[in-house]
């Protein structure tokens, strides 16, 4: 038995009131309701975070790392129930071993018209994980927070004409960026984990294209 640590309860309080950047703010109406599970646990290398990698053949976000989750169905009692159900379907973990700690402000993905409820949770009794929805998920990873904060693993992702940029993380054979990277970046900062970035000339830069990311320079 591994009860929710005090640091995660404190992080949940901060995250529930965090400022949402304008591009991620939901419209007054519309959008398909969905939920993702931000699941922290204690693994062999310390505190970690559960991520999936989507299959390369998917129409939306092919091959991209993400939090487990998906659309909220009429049978779901709440966004929390939807996040746990979807994550269990994708990774095979046992929901009974997870404690929901809080919910971040609702976010919006304009390119897919999804309103996303990010559900923050603690893995009280970790269970085996693996890709269980093979049409959707190529890999499942428990990524140590120590790897996410390592300055050598941080990259910059440029969007559009280069006037906008976002954080990325090169961990466990994946390049985490976009919506998922932005949430992780905020949580690392709010949790007091973030380390100073490397000098600008040492930080790798990638450009977001319709085909995915490509290195710049």
Domain ranges of the chain: 6-146
pLDDT at 15 exceeding the cut of 70: yes
Q: By percentage, how much of the chain surpasses pLDDT 70? A: 91
pLDDT of residue 55: 80
Q: Give the mean model confidence (pLDDT) for residues 142-164.
A: 88
Please write the tens of the pLDDT for every residue from 159-178: 876 667 889 999 999 999 98
Chosen CATH of 6-146 out of 3.90.79.10, 3.30.420.240, 3.10.20.30, 3.40.50.2300 = 3.90.79.10
Poorest-pLDDT segment among 39-48, 116-125, 159-168? 159-168
pLDDT at 79 exceeding the cut of 70: yes
Q: pLDDT-derived band of residue 200, with 50, 70 and 90 as boundaries?
A: low
Return d(Cα 98, Cα 125) in angstroms, integer.
Answer: 7
Please write the tens of the pLDDT for every residue from 47-74: 999 999 988 655 555 568 999 999 999 9
């Amino acid at each position: 038995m591994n009860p929710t640590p005090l640091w995660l309860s404190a992080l949940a309080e901060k995250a529930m009131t965090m400022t949402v950047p304008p591009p991620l703010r939901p419209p007054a109406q519309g959008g398909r309701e969905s939920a993702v599970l931000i699941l922290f646990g204690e693994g062999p290398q310390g505190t970690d975070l559960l991520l999936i990698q989507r299959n390369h053949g998917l129409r939306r976000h092919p091959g991209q790392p993400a939090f487990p989750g998906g659309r909220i169905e009429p049978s779901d009692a709440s966004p929390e129930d939807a996040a746990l159900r979807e994550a269990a379907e994708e990774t095979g973990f046992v929901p009974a071993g997870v404690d929901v700690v809080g919910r971040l402000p609702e976010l919006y993905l304009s390119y897919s018209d999804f309103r996303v409820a990010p559900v923050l949770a603690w893995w009280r009794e970790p269970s085996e994980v693996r890709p269980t929805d093979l049409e959707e998920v190529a890999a499942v990873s428990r990524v140590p927070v120590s790897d996410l904060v390592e300055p050598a693993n941080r990259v910059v992702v440029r969007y559009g004409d280069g006037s906008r940029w976002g954080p990325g993380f090169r961990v466990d054979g994946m390049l985490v960026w976009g919506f998922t990277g932005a949430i992780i970046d905020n949580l690392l900062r709010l949790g007091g984990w973030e380390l100073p970035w490397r000098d600008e000339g040492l930080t790798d830069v990638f450009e977001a294209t319709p085909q995915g990311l490509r290195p710049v320079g």
